[in-house]
Amino acid sequence: MNITLLNCTMTPVILVPHIASQKESSAETSPSQVGDAPHTGRKFLPVTATMAPKKKTVRKNKGNINEMTIIVEDSPLNKLNALNGLLEGGNGLSCISSELTDASYGPNLLEGLSKMRQESFLCDLVIGTKTKSFDVHKSVMASCSEYFYNILKKDPSTQRVDLSDIAPLGLATVIAYAYTGKLTLSLYTIGSIISAAIYLQIHTLVKMCSDFLIQEMSVENCMYIANIAETYSLRNAKAAAQKFIRDNFLEFAESDQFMKLTFEQINELLIDDDLQLPSEIVAFQIAMKWLEFDQKRVKYAADLLSNIRFGTISAQDLVSYVQSVPRMMQDADCHKLLVDAMNYHLLPYHQNTLQSRRTRIRGGCRVLVTVGGRPGLTEKSLSRDVLYRDPENGWSKLTEMPAKSFNQCVAVMDGFLYVAGGEDQNDARNQAKHAVSNFCRYDPRFNTWIHLASMNQKRTHFSLSVFNGLLYAVGGRNAEGGLASLECYVPSANQWQPKAPLEVARCCHGSAVADGRVLVTGGYIGGAYSRSVCAYDPARDAWQELPALSTPRGWHCTVTLGEGGFFSYTCLSKGFRKASQEKIIKLKTNTDGKVTGIPPRG
């Protein structure tokens, strides 16, 4: 008896010997027996139900041997059903779904598509330029280009698209990017690539080109990159190029690219407030260098030099470095710029009204400044120090005040720092006795102080507010007692003018400007701290009472908030009763509301 296993691509086939004797057949094919075939000594395997769920018997005659063919069906669906059967009833298995990603799938897919394009396999679209055509796949180009997506969506049967306005090099690079996600860039070819990417609306490629320009920025190519960015409206690249030129302007001015600038380009640079220069004299010298490079540029002299901040150059330097340049004396318009700057310095009290772009320093930043005062609680001496906080180097000294002061008021107006009143001695038992009327101004451009007209009255524990180009000194006290007076400083006249006084004298109050009025809150009135709030209207030279504070207060601060309101708070120093209350008053509706208090501080 022969047992034959036939290899089959679809289903395995097992040939089992057919025995004429029913008894022998039963014995040999029993599923529970495995052994030697009778009379032959050969081994055979039983056919079990699990291996052959379905049987089909076919009788064949081959010589004297009868064979039975059993076909075992092994389809994918049967395998799946068998596995699913294991999950029926749970069987203690935890069936939790997990999302897996094949990291190589994307690159392999792009590689396969790129190979198909190179072999022109299944390509269904031709893109043509004036000199060259490219076979591509519609699905690939439409997936990365809004331009092709819109064309093919409108007419999916499109066979050819001609792009006569795109350079072959730029198009070839765009197509390579579409199939690989990679590209080779250089400053020599990036123009054609950006042009093609923008035309075909491939935004990711445009961003890659913009990032490349920013990465490659240098003194030698920054202006070229700025031109590319301007041409193709690359905002990030343009902003980066402008910042690079501002930050490296001195070095850039020495390069060949600088002399190739157009008037519009250098004019835009010199007008920039953030241009980094050691002094405005350097800006003037660089401008003259550009003008003198080509005689045809002389016609731009007055317009270009109007961007120089001559008002920030000292009078001595104007004579030494500017007046000595022939053009500044020969050209009437240029000479006027010089005369205006000299007059600005000759009329220091009028500088507030003469302020302009040409009197403002470049690259200015806001800093925190401390003025005078008492260096320590235990020290009796007063200080003339003026310190400012440098974000990088901490506290640094400026030129000292003309005189020592304590409890003075300070204000900033028109770019100047003003210091008024206070005390010239540290006498805790009788502070008002040492009140002064001193008034001076600090100019941060030249780090200098000048004395201005003194106040009409000596004042300490008063308030100083800025409104509409004027300074208002309110109340306070001196050796004669509390003050109800109000006086206003007019910079153009360098004069203090008396205004309508308060109804009652007050000191140690807070003040702020809001809704076109000077507001005065709380303070010390008639021997006690007050809840009173009033407002001075400069237009009418009159006072008006407002809703009172919920709590009497003094030695507090008041600041302006938006929506026509102000905010008052009190923080008494260590050793005094601690208080912490805050108030918002809405001026337009004359209503007040209490807000959450800040934590008490010592």
CA distance 180 to 172: 12
Condensed to tens digits (0 to 9), the pLDDT of residues 330-374 reads 999 999 999 999 999 999 999 999 999 999 988 777 888 999 888
Domain ranges in the chain?
Answer: 4-77, 107-247, 273-364, 369-594
Of 271-275, 470-474, 581-585, the poorest mean pLDDT is in 581-585
Query: Is the pLDDT assigned to residue 3 strictly greater than 60?
Result: no
pLDDT above 60 (res 130): yes
pLDDT recorded at residue 88? 67
Q: Which of 1-10, 46-55, 483-492 has the highest mean pLDDT?
A: 483-492
369-594: CATH topology: Neuraminidase (2.120.10)
Tokens read off for 137? 């796949």
CA–CA distance, 328 with 301 (Å, rounded to integer): 9
User: Chain-wide mean pLDDT for the chain?
Assistant: 83
Q: Please determine, for residue 39, whether its predicted confidence score (pLDDT) is greater than 90.
A: no
Q: What is the pLDDT of residue 343?
A: 95
In the chain, the amino acid numbered 120 is S
| Confidence at residue 147, expressed as pLDDT on a 0 to 100 scale | 96
Mean pLDDT calculated for residue range 74-82: 78
Range name among 42-46, 181-185, 210-214 with the lowest pLDDT average: 42-46
- Tokens for 547, please give them: 């809703």
Output the pLDDT for position 20: 43
Q: What is the pLDDT of residue 91?
A: 60
Are 531 and 538 in contact by the 8 Å Cβ rule? The answer is: no
pLDDT tens for 99-127 read 889 999 989 999 999 999 999 999 999 99
Average pLDDT over residues 179-203: 93
Band the pLDDT of 578: cuts 50, 70, 90.
very low
Token pair of 104 as six digits:
């190589």
* pLDDT (tens digit per residue) in 500-532: 999 999 999 999 998 899 999 999 999 999 999
pLDDT of 73 reads: 59
* Residues in CB range of 183: below 8 A, 6 or more apart: 173, 176, 177, 193, 205, 208
Q: How far apart are CA 52 and CA 445, in angstroms?
A: 100
Helix (H) or strand (E) holding 171: helix 168-180
Residue 234 has pLDDT above 70, yes or no: yes
Per-residue pLDDT at 62: 46
> What is the greatest pairwise CA distance in the chain?
146
- Among 208-217, 294-303, 369-378, 552-561, which stretch is predicted with the lowest mean pLDDT? 369-378
CA 154 to chain centre: 40
Q: What is the pLDDT of residue 25?
A: 43
Look up residue 44 and give its two tokens. 């055979």
Q: What CATH number does domain 107-247 carry, 3.30.110.40, 3.40.50.1000, 3.30.710.10, 3.40.50.2300?
A: 3.30.710.10
Specify whether the CB–CB gap between 465 and 512 falls below 8 A.
yes
More confident site: 30 or 217: 217
Residue 389's pLDDT is: 87
Q: Let me know: does 385 contact 397? Beta carbons within 8 Å.
A: yes
Write out pLDDT tens, residues 7-29.
444 444 444 444 444 444 444 44
Measured distance CA(237)–CA(213) in Å, rounded: 7
Is it the case that residue 85 has pLDDT exceeding 80? Answer: no
Report the alpha-carbon distance of residue 123 to residue 126 in Å, rounded: 8
Task: Look up residue 461 and give its two tokens.
Answer: 């524990």
Predicted confidence at residue 379, as pLDDT, reads: 62
Query: What pLDDT is stored for residue 387 in this prediction?
Result: 87
Task: Give how far the C-alpha of residue 145 lies from the chain's centroid of Cα atoms, to the nearest Å.
Answer: 29
pLDDT higher than 70, residue 70: no
Domain at 273-364, CATH from 1.25.40, 2.20.110, 3.40.50, 1.10.3470:
1.25.40
Q: Residues 532, 548: contact at Cβ < 8 Å?
A: yes
Half-sphere exposure of 538 (CA within 13 A, CB side): 22
In the predicted model, what is the mean pLDDT of residues 385-410? 89
Helix (H, G, I), strand (E, B) or coil at 497: strand
Cβ pair 470, 462 in contact under 8 A: no
pLDDT of 35 > 90? The answer is: no
Query: What pLDDT does residue 569 have?
Result: 52
List, for residues 434-452, the tens digit of each pLDDT value: 999 999 999 999 999 999 9
Distances in Å between the Cα of 242 and the Cα atoms of 224, 251, 530 are 11, 14, 56
* pLDDT at position 562: 64
pLDDT classification of 382: cutoffs 50, 70, 90? confident
Window from 88-97, 196-205, 518-527, 562-571 with minimum mean pLDDT: 562-571
User: Which tens digits make up the pLDDT trace of 136-150?
Assistant: 999 999 999 999 999
Q: How far apart are the first and last CA of the chain?
A: 110
**Cα(343)–Cα(273) distance, integer angstroms:** 23
Q: How far is CA 558 from CA 412, 464, 492, 505, 572, in A?
A: 16, 12, 28, 19, 14
